[in-house]
Amino acid sequence: MSFQILPKGSILYIESTDPLAIDTGTPNNSFSFGGTTLSAPGQKYSSTVATRNKLAYSDANNIRFRRVSEHNRSEFNIFPIRIEQQNRMANGTMRKYFVADKKQFTLSWDMLPSYRNETVDGAWAAEDIKYFYETSGKGSFRIRINPTVLAPATYIEDTSSALLDEYTYTVMFTSCNFTVSKRGIQPYWNVSMTLEEV
């Protein structure tokens, strides 16, 4: 299996460091976890794939928008949440006090590999998402979504793009579930999450 180049990129990017970054200079996909060096079993993870996904080992401690894998991802739902107060007056007319519009995002993956070296695109996999949820995901964080037909390298990933504010949201987890569905070379996970704009 080889990594696929997705011309439209990923639909979800999470702003974070990359604590489970794979050292592409080692022959066995080494990464550090809890002070121990481990290996991600499976195919070789190359520096080309890591760089394309903003997951270069040399960039692991910098905060960047990291691509989340499209591997067996379900539909990406965006639900508008209108915060408002409605009251019917004595004469029967409706009055509405508008506060704000917010968004809720839901998505899931079936059979998502544990580590990025076994995903179809080489982007963040189940263990990356789980680790982020258990550490930095306890508070608010920023995501960037790419629901358009625009080239991601130019309009979504380029920090000088005029469209970044249109697709960047500060969110919190309202739910996140991880289920091991199969064990093989790596465990495969069913992952689902709901994010809500703060």
Distant-in-sequence, close-in-space partners of 32: CB < 8 Å, separation ≥ 6: 19, 38
CA 113/CA 128 separation, integer angstroms: 10
Q: Which amino acid is at 183?
A: R
Span 57-85, pLDDT tens digits: 999 999 988 999 999 999 999 999 999 99
Which pLDDT does position 122 carry in this prediction?
94
Q: Which of 17-26, 40-49, 156-165, 183-192 has the lowest mean pLDDT?
A: 156-165
42, 44, 50, 52: CA torsion to nearest 10: -100
Reported confidence tier of residue 147, pLDDT bands at 50, 70, 90: confident
